[in-house]
Chain A
Amino acid sequence: MLGLRGNRRKSDEDTDLDLVPIMNVFLVMVPLLLTSASFFNLKIINTSVPVLGNSESVIAQESDIKLTVIVELEEEGIRLSALSDEADTEALNQVGTYFAKENTRQYPLDKLSSFLQKLKTQYPKSDTVIIIPEGSIIYDTIIQTMDVARYSNDVQLFPNVVISGKVG
């Protein structure tokens, strides 16, 4: 009887996992991460207001033509046009177009995006867009238009954004 009891090995006993060191680590890491947690990620869009400058007319090759695209946000739709010292009038007229608001009363930003992508393919050197909203257009719509004009499907379109009020 005594011999049988002695055969019980110590390895058969249950061992408890010591969680104290892990808890120590957590108690240090949690306050550290809490101080550096950011629940709102603030980013920025660089833009500018128009300034007067001297523009010199330069004779450029077709592949080097730079257009400045103008996006006018109107109450009922989006009007596009372009400016350039290097392109002829016919080429600039081809850029002129109008996208009316859809039945849902949303601005057709997807159509604008497709059009700007095509324009960028034709004039790859172009990098500037001027956005001219009407007075009643809300800021959120302006930012969404900027997003569409700057990038599309991770492809850079017109990263230089200028915002201006209507003249006249």
Chain B
Amino acid sequence: MALGRSRMRSRGFIPPKLQMTSMMDMFTILLIFLIISFSEHIVRFRIEGDIRLPSSSAQMDFKERTRLVVLENSLWLGEEKVTEIKDGAVVGLDPNNLKGSILYQRLKKCRREVEQSTDEGKDKNLILFLCDKRLSFKTINNIIKTAGMAGFPNFQFGVLKQ
């Protein structure tokens, strides 16, 4: 009698239970990590090439504006490549004739576009400057002087938060 009853029980279908404990652990850790790295101010722009920004204790957030990017071997204005940098010298930028350079012309053009912009809150003299931390001041000096002459005397030096 007893044997017959156990045979009857084994014919019943028992649905498999999905073991979700591991998945819950994984999602919990992922969620905590993403909450910590949540940011209201999302930076999204593309930089061609490798750039290492310096670290700083600066706290100020930046606003998207005209962007000058100085990599180890090239110089970009926004998404457009302006010229190359070789052995620490900007190609086509003569320190004795900064106004004759292509960088100056491009910056002047940018300045005209900014002037025509109807955005009231925008500081029109401001430029976002992203520069590789390994470059010497000799390379940077001529670039910022040119930008100053083209109508962008105020800079926002982009840094990574420490």
> Could you list which residues of chain A lie within 8 angstroms of chain B, going by C-beta atoms?
16, 19, 22-23, 26, 29-30, 33-34, 36-49, 51, 73, 133-140, 142-144, 146-147, 150-151, 163, 165
**Chain A residue contacts of B140, Cβ below 8 A:** 139
Contact A48 B128 (CB under 8 A): no
Contact B160 A46 (CB under 8 A): no
Contact A49 B159 (CB under 8 A): no
Given A38-B43, A39-B37, A41-B39, answer yes or no on A134-B27 (Cβ-Cβ < 8 Å).
no
Q: Which of B26-51 contact A (CB under 8 A)?
A: 27-28, 30-31, 34-35, 37-43
**Chain B residue contacts of A45, Cβ below 8 A:** 56, 58, 60, 156-157, 159
Given A40-B43, A42-B158, A47-B157, answer yes or no on A16-B35 (Cβ-Cβ < 8 Å).
no
Contact B60 A44 (CB under 8 A): yes
**Chain B residue contacts of A49, Cβ below 8 A:** 144-145, 147-148, 153, 155
Q: Which of B121-162 contact A (CB under 8 A)?
A: 128, 131-138, 140-141, 144-145, 147-148, 153-161
Partner of A33, one of B38, B40, B41: B38
**Chain A residue contacts of B145, Cβ below 8 A:** 49, 165
Given A23-B23, A134-B137, answer yes or no on A48-B37 (Cβ-Cβ < 8 Å).
no
Partner of A143, one of B31, B60, B157: B157
Beyond A33-B35, A146-B157, 18 extra complex contacts between A and B, CB < 8 Å: A26-B28, A34-B34, A36-B39, A37-B37, A43-B56, A43-B58, A43-B61, A43-B159, A44-B61, A44-B158, A46-B60, A135-B137, A139-B137, A140-B133, A143-B54, A147-B56, A163-B155, A165-B141
**Chain B residue contacts of A163, Cβ below 8 A:** 144, 155
Partner of B159, one of A16, A42, A51: A42
**Chain A residue contacts of B116, Cβ below 8 A:** none
Contact B39 A44 (CB under 8 A): no
**Chain B residue contacts of A26, Cβ below 8 A:** 27-28, 31
**Chain A residue contacts of B14, Cβ below 8 A:** none
Contact B160 A140 (CB under 8 A): no
Q: Please, which residue of chain B has its CB at the minimum distance from the CB of A35?
A: B42
Q: Which of B41, B57, B148 has the most CB of A within 10 A?
A: B57
**Chain B residue contacts of A73, Cβ below 8 A:** 137
CB of B140, distance to nearest CB on chain A (Å):
6
**Cα A163 to Cα B131 with chains together (Å):** 14
B1 at the interface (CB under 8 A from A): no
Given A41-B160, A44-B156, A143-B56, answer yes or no on A138-B43 (Cβ-Cβ < 8 Å).
no
CB of A22, distance to nearest CB on chain B (Å):
7
**Cα A165 to Cα B95 with chains together (Å):** 12
Contact B137 A43 (CB under 8 A): no
Contact B59 A43 (CB under 8 A): yes
Contact A139 B131 (CB under 8 A): yes
**Cα A33 to Cα B40 with chains together (Å):** 11
B20 at the interface (CB under 8 A from A): yes
What are 28 pairs between A and B in contact, CB < 8 Å?
A: A19-B24, A23-B24, A30-B31, A30-B34, A33-B31, A33-B38, A34-B34, A38-B42, A40-B43, A40-B160, A41-B160, A43-B58, A43-B62, A44-B62, A45-B157, A49-B147, A135-B137, A135-B138, A135-B141, A137-B136, A137-B137, A138-B133, A138-B135, A138-B136, A143-B55, A143-B56, A147-B56, A147-B58
